[in-house]
Amino acid sequence: MTIAFIGDIVGRPGRELIRKHLPAFREEYGIDFVIANYENASHGFGLTPKNAQELFGMGIDVMTGGNHTWDKREIAEMFEKFELLRPHNYPEGVPGTGCKLYEVGGERLAVINLMGHYGMPYTDNAFRCAQETVAALRNDGITSIFIDFHAEATSEKRGMLMLLQGEVSGIIGTHTHVGSDDFQIARGTAYLTDMGLTGCRDNVIGMDVKAPLERFLTGIPARFEVPKKCKAILQMAVMRLEEGRCTEAFKVKQFCDGRRFVTEAWLEDVHD
């Protein structure tokens, strides 16, 4: 099974790069299933039904969320209409779910969406939620398990790897929009601290520079906007899974000017 993950899609620039490249990437890299994070996909905040339909039509199979999941009021109804997840560690009774099972090439794949704690909205304990959910899945014979961990703190993301390495197929972080350079495979678990955004790259976390700089210089809040024109990037991780273990992984960085860089994940020499 070959799966791919695209981190925070930020506004129209991100969606346009996915439209242009994802169908060809699926064929070129033999991708069976695509997961992407939607929480900034519509004007930088949340997801609208129109943009959800648009993104699923581009070759995405399921989308994960984060702290901006609830920014568009239609989202609660959308959980019934689209393959959308929200962080699984929200309290019981919150609309939607953060864990779903999919049939991929005759195999079962579980996708889990979790949210960290530092600087984030109130949720239940992400680590206990992850541990209990993964244990229940493995007890049911499901070994192919992917986690999008939406968190601010790199220590939380690294801690999730230490907790679950060897138990899940992949853990990739989202939220900071800045891609990290630590893609590795440890005990059969692909890990990357942050995928990095798919959207504008020549500004501040995919947003026009004016509002962030005003905040930094004055401390006064300003509304973030996705630029209408920018230099954009698509960032995607591809993972080959065998019996639930990641055997090969690489990251694709596709620039809007046609440049493409592919970097392999390193195999971590882990001693039990």
The answer to whether residues 6 and 149 touch, using CB atoms and an 8 Å cutoff, is no
The pairs formed by 52-55 with CB atoms below 8 angstroms and a separation of 24 or more are: 52/78, 52/82, 52/84, 53/82, 54/15, 54/19, 55/9, 55/15, 55/18
Segments of the chain with pLDDT less than 50: none
**CA nearest to 95, candidates 111, 107, 78, 82:** 78
What is the pLDDT at residue 272?
Answer: 54
Q: Which H or E run contains 16?
A: helix 11-28
Catalytic residue chosen out of the listed positions 68, 150, 175, 177: 68
Q: What is the CATH number of domain 2-202+232-267?
A: 3.60.21.10
SS3 at position 227? coil
The answer to whether residues 97 and 78 touch, using CB atoms and an 8 Å cutoff, is no
The answer to whether residues 237 and 183 touch, using CB atoms and an 8 Å cutoff, is yes
What is the pLDDT at residue 271?
Answer: 56
Burial class (CB in 10 A: 0-12, 13-18, 19+), 260: exposed
What is the pLDDT at residue 140?
Answer: 97
Written as one string, the DSSP assignment of 153-215 is -HHHHHHHHHHHTTTSSEEEEESS-S--S--EEETTEEEES----BEE-SSBTTB-SHHHHHH
Burial class (CB in 10 A: 0-12, 13-18, 19+), 111: buried
| Main-chain phi, psi angles of 31, to 5 degrees | -80, 130
Residue 254 Cα distances to 17, 169, 262, angstroms:
8, 24, 9
Q: Which residue has the tokens 């520079």?
A: 209
What is the pLDDT at residue 251?
Answer: 98
Burial class (CB in 10 A: 0-12, 13-18, 19+), 56: middle
Asked about 21 being catalytic, the answer comes back as no
d(CA 74, CA 72): 6
**CA nearest to 34, candidates 67, 11, 9:** 9
SS3 at position 133? helix
What is the pLDDT at residue 269?
Answer: 75
Determine the straight-line distance between the first and last CA of the chain, rounded to whole angstroms.
Answer: 27
| Main-chain phi, psi angles of 148, to 5 degrees | -95, 110
- Dihedral sign computed on CA atoms, order 120, 122, 128, 130: negative
What is the pLDDT at residue 253?
Answer: 98
pLDDT single digits (tens) 229-244: 999 999 999 999 999 9
